[in-house]
Amino acid sequence: MSCTEREKLFGYAQRLLEPREEHEVRAHLESCPTCRAAAEEYRKVDTLLEEWTPLEPSPSFDARVREAVEPSGASRSLLGLFGFPGLRWMAPALVTVLVVVAFVAVLHVRHGRRAAHAPAQASSMPAAPDAPSAPPTETMGGEEEVKLYQNLFMLEDYDLLAEFDLLSELPKGETKVDN
């Protein structure tokens, strides 16, 4: 049997033939046991291949895919919002909120630290018999407070902050506070 005929036989076994061709091959098979056996063999190969069933991934597979996908989307932009178009407008607002929160947090920490220092200083000094000790915040003059703001490390490291992914849209080095 020629190769072309075998290909037709294969097409018949795989049900790939046009109805007219299929009819012709079927008629031929009725009188040709060799071709019948060949067509049957193609079908057997097909059935045999089905024994190689789908293969389950390892238990950690899904978690690994999620880990691989996250940095490029959901978690890279912190809130998972900016990986998708249409929500990018929120970035500047979030940056502003973060800067304000950071500023307030630093003020709070500084204030708390000074409050803790003041009683210690007061106890090491001889107490004036008739002057009651004032709360530490009230002891600070206006000039001293301005110096404190100027020395806030967060603002000094503005460039460092600007390197953060979310703050990268801010202009670099333009609002640095000089001492």
Partner 1 sequence: MDQDLDLMLRVRAGDSASFEELLRRYRVPLVSYFRRMLRDPALAEDLAQEAFLRVYKARARYRPDARFTTWLYRIATNLALNAIRDRKEISPAGGNESSDGEAELLPVVDSKPTVEQLLIESHRVWLIRDAIQALPENQRIAVILHKYQELDYGQIAKILGVSVSAVKSLFFRAYESLRVRLEPLLKGGLI
55 binds partner 1 (CB under 8 A): yes
131 binds partner 1 (CB under 8 A): no
28 binds partner 1 (CB under 8 A): no
Among 2, 18, 20, 48, binds partner 1 (CB under 8 A): 48
Among left, alpha and beta (phi > 0; psi -120 to 50; other), residue 141 is beta
| Min dist. Cβ of residue 99 to partner 1 (A) | 26
Among 19, 57, 135, 141, binds partner 1 (CB under 8 A): 57
Among 5, 21, 30, 62, binds partner 1 (CB under 8 A): 62
103 binds partner 1 (CB under 8 A): no
145 binds partner 1 (CB under 8 A): no
**Separation of alpha carbons 104 and 97, rounded Å:** 11
Q: Which is nearer to partner 1, 79 or 177 (CB)?
A: 79
Which long-range contacts link 167-171 to residues 24+ away (Cβ below 8 Å)? 167/95, 167/98, 167/99, 169/91, 169/92, 169/95, 170/95
Among 54, 129, 132, 142, binds partner 1 (CB under 8 A): 54
Among 5, 23, 26, 44, binds partner 1 (CB under 8 A): 44
59 binds partner 1 (CB under 8 A): no
| Contact footprint for partner 1 (CB under 8 A) | 6-7, 10-11, 14, 16, 41-42, 44-46, 48-52, 54-58, 61-62, 64-66, 68-69, 72-74, 80, 83-87
